Amino acid sequence: MDFITALKRERLVAIVRGSDADASFRTVMTLAESGVPLIEVSLSGTDPLRVIERARAELGPDACLGAGTVLTEDDAHRATAAGANLVVTPGLGLAVDTAVRQGLPVLAGVLTPTDVIAATAAGATALKIFPASAVGGPSYLKALRGPFPHLPFVPVGGVDARAAASYLTLGAVAVGVGSPLIGDAADGGDLDALRKRAAEFRSVCS
């Protein structure tokens, strides 16, 4: 999987974090069926490795299915064993190093210029600005791209449809979206409402 090419094409990463494993699985499948192919299942949800295993079995070997909130070396190994072919972290550390050694694409969490330099040196594929909403939102992305104009930034955290449009206009390669897209679907909520939100975000990110 060429993750950078996929990011540039889709411009949207869906983040699934649910309290109900069956509902989380249904959410992943609904997103894929709704034309949102870049999906991250957070390890901070309920039984996330099982969700990844089930989704991988249904989506096949080529689908981009990530594990998010990967914190440790063990997390990275377990996520890979479950079928994840993308590792997403909230920050830097052993999880990034382990995934890079495994040859997996890594969306590594960064916040400061120092983080950006360290993540790039560590071999991160793309840079997740997190939590983007806490540091000025789109204006912070604009400032960060001053010294790093060519790096692939993916703002995450509090990204609704309006913010997504702003980030993309200002040069983000893609956005990562959790609750504004997922809503309560991963907790057993309305999948039809999820489909409508997916269509809205796809329109914004197209």
- Which one of the listed residues 8, 40, 142, 200 is annotated catalytic? 40
Structure tokens given for 94: 């052993």
Phi-psi region of 83 (alpha: psi -120 to 50; beta: other; left: phi over 0): left
- Which one of the listed residues 8, 53, 128, 196 is annotated catalytic? 128
Q: How many whole angstroms separate alpha carbon 52 and alpha carbon 161?
A: 26
Query: In sequence order, what are the residues at sequence separation of 6 or more whose Cβ sits closer than 8 angstroms to the Cβ of residue 170?
Result: 138, 141, 142, 145
- 33 is a catalytic site residue: no
- 128 is a catalytic site residue: yes
> Which residues face 40 on adjacent strands?
15, 66
Question: Which residue from 118, 82, 124, 119 is spatially nearest to 99, judged by alpha carbons?
Answer: 124
Q: Catalytic residue positions? A: 40, 128
